[in-house]
Amino acid sequence: MNETARLGIESSAFDGRVLLGLDRLGLNPVSQRHVTAGSRAGVWLIGCEPAGDAARYCRDCGAMGRVRSSWRRRFAHTPVGQHAVHLMVRVRRYECAACARSWTDDLTRIADEGRRLTDAAVWWAAAEVVLKSKSVLACARDLHCSWGALNRAVLEKGVDVLVADPHRLDGVESIGVDEHVWRHTRTGSRYVTVIVDLTPREHGQPARLLDMVEGRSEKAFARWLAARPQPFRDQVRAVAMDAFAGYRKAAARQVPHAVEILDPFHVVKLAGDRLTAVRCRLQHEATGRRGTTTDPLYRGRRILLKTAVLRTDRQQARIDALLADPDNRPLALAHGAYQRIITCYAQKDRRKGRGMMAELIESLAAKGAAPGCPELATLGRTLKRRMADVLAFFDHPNGANGPTEAINGRLETLRGIALGFRNLDNYITRSLLHTGGFKHAIQTHL
């Protein structure tokens, strides 16, 4: 038994037409020529003709037409190794002597109307961009085509085939919403609202981006929800969000039956911001200036925000000394509340964690609970006002908005790969291709 038979590999005679995928395009190769392209590997120019004679027959009378004229069209195709491949397709114009009708070869099997890239090349580029985080410019260089032509082809193919799928929103039961900075400029729109599907987390799958809308207001989120069909809004059972009241109002108006969940990340961050505010106030009251590396309060700024169980002995000793100072009594109160919030979320028993959190919120919201620490009193009032949303997390294990923050991080990486975006529509489409859960769909087109 030879090696190929042992491995179960079927072998056949070598066929360059199959290797280049020309059989799927209905083309026959008739010539080849290799040209150099500067410092790059070069381009293979493959002369092709449409296979078969079906195109020669008139669709009206069935008579065979004669070739009136012909010309060549050049299409960028999938590369072979480091070499770009361009198809030089001979296109014929036919004429029917019986009915005076004329027509040309149909090339829609090769490429979309008006495109200079084959469908195979567009899907290859989409896979490189999405699956391998390659830039469009790098793919354009591999294909030896212009950036604009490839970028338009990839975006239009993604919108028409993937994003416009009518079943893309099926089964969405839990969504996360957060703001995102899509460009760092002094003028113009900078923020978008990111809507993420958290439902796959229930089955151990990664979350996916549903959409992005311009702005970070109640109106922006409410408009997006209102634009969705009623069956979609009816099936949404939970909405995870930060402490921004606008998102809460939009969800309450458009999906009133859904449970609103205040994300643990933002609750901890809210408490951490209050702790930092207390530290800065005490620093300014003691020295009349901002902290420097010689100030104990400034040197402990990062350790204060670190979870207590993760500190080293040296770090814990520094914090103990800092909080033992009578002048830092407000800081000790804020630090204690911050660590207790982390402890509540760290409980494996969610019922116990829920009870601890409810007790903590009531104690913080009580009058006179934080003497000399107005920042902590503000935190208590905020948590008391959103108490139902905070406690809802303990009843919905997959209600954390962490996957939304993770997708925000992936979008930051995307902007870095592309060296920034100027067009919001292009950014939204590219973001959907990268984080919209289309990897499997793209692979099926390769």
Per-residue pLDDT of the chain (446 residues; tens, 9 = 90+): 455 555 555 666 667 788 888 988 989 999 999 988 665 678 999 999 988 877 888 888 888 888 889 999 999 999 998 899 999 999 999 998 888 888 888 888 899 888 899 999 999 999 999 888 899 999 999 999 999 999 999 999 988 888 888 888 899 999 999 999 998 888 878 899 999 999 998 888 899 999 999 998 999 999 999 999 999 999 999 999 988 889 999 999 999 999 999 989 889 999 999 999 999 999 999 999 998 988 999 999 999 999 999 999 999 999 999 999 999 999 999 999 999 999 999 999 999 999 999 999 999 999 888 888 999 999 999 999 999 999 999 998 777 888 898 999 999 999 999 888 989 999 999 999 999 988 888 888 87
1 in any annotated domain: no
Residue 272, domain extent: 264-395
The structure's pTM equals 0.82
Q: Give the residue from 332, 344, 339, 336 showing the smallest Cα distance to 387.
A: 344
What does the pLDDT read at residue 2? 58
Same domain, 305 and 222: no
What does the pLDDT read at residue 18? 86
Same domain, 142 and 236: no
Q: Max Cα separation, the chain?
A: 105
333 in any annotated domain: yes
What does the pLDDT read at residue 37? 65
CATH number of the CATH domain containing 255: 3.30.420
Q: Which of 162, 184, 212 is the endpoint of a domain?
A: 162
How far apart CA 351 and CA 343 sit, in angstroms, is: 13
What does the pLDDT read at residue 6? 55
What does the pLDDT read at residue 385? 92
Same domain, 370 and 278: yes
CA 393 to centroid of chain Cα atoms: 24
Length, in residues, of the chain: 446
Same domain, 317 and 409: no
What does the pLDDT read at residue 227? 94
Same domain, 215 and 234: yes
2 in any annotated domain: no
Same domain, 299 and 384: yes
Same domain, 211 and 304: no
Q: Which of 395, 414, 429 is the endpoint of a domain?
A: 395
Q: Which of 118, 142, 162 is the endpoint of a domain?
A: 162
Same domain, 48 and 136: yes
Same domain, 243 and 348: no
7 in any annotated domain: no
What does the pLDDT read at residue 87? 95
Contact criterion met (CB below 8 Å) for 240 and 399 = yes
Q: For the chain, how many structural domains are there in total?
A: 3
What does the pLDDT read at residue 143? 94
How far apart CA 218 and CA 245 sit, in angstroms, is: 8
CA 210 to centroid of chain Cα atoms: 9
8 in any annotated domain: no
Q: How does strand 102-104 pair with strand 66-80? A: unpaired
Same domain, 158 and 29: yes
64 in any annotated domain: yes
What does the pLDDT read at residue 167? 87
For tokens 């919905």, name the residue: 396
Same domain, 180 and 270: no
How far apart CA 212 and CA 192 sit, in angstroms, is: 6
167 in any annotated domain: no
Contact criterion met (CB below 8 Å) for 167 and 182 = no
168 in any annotated domain: no
What does the pLDDT read at residue 202? 84
CA angle 299/338/291 to nearest 5° reads: 20
Same domain, 277 and 237: no
